[in-house]
Amino acid sequence: MIFAGTDVVLEVVQMFVLGPRLILSVREYHAELVAGSDADTSMNSIVFQEHVHISTSGTV
């Protein structure tokens, strides 16, 4: 009976403490990976194009 009560208490602790803590740990690890990656490479993917107006009306 004591073991059954202890088991119930441990299940509650696991659901409400360890589960969210695991999620927060994974989020923190992912944030560190993103922060540690090269931030400059994401900015280099932006391409600046010159806007040139080409008239399509009229004769050649």
In the block, tokens 């540690």 appear at 36
Domain map of the chain by residue range? 1-37
Tell me the per-residue pLDDT of 12-43, one tens digit each, with 9 for 90 and over.
988 888 888 899 999 999 998 888 775 555 45
Give the range with max mean pLDDT: 10-14, 45-49, 52-56.
Answer: 10-14
In whole angstroms, how far apart are CA 1 and each of 6, 26, 49, 59?
9, 36, 74, 96
Pure H helices in the chain? 2-13, 19-36, 39-44
**pTM higher than 0.75:** no
Q: Give the CA dihedral 17, 18, 19, 23, nearest 10 degrees.
A: 100
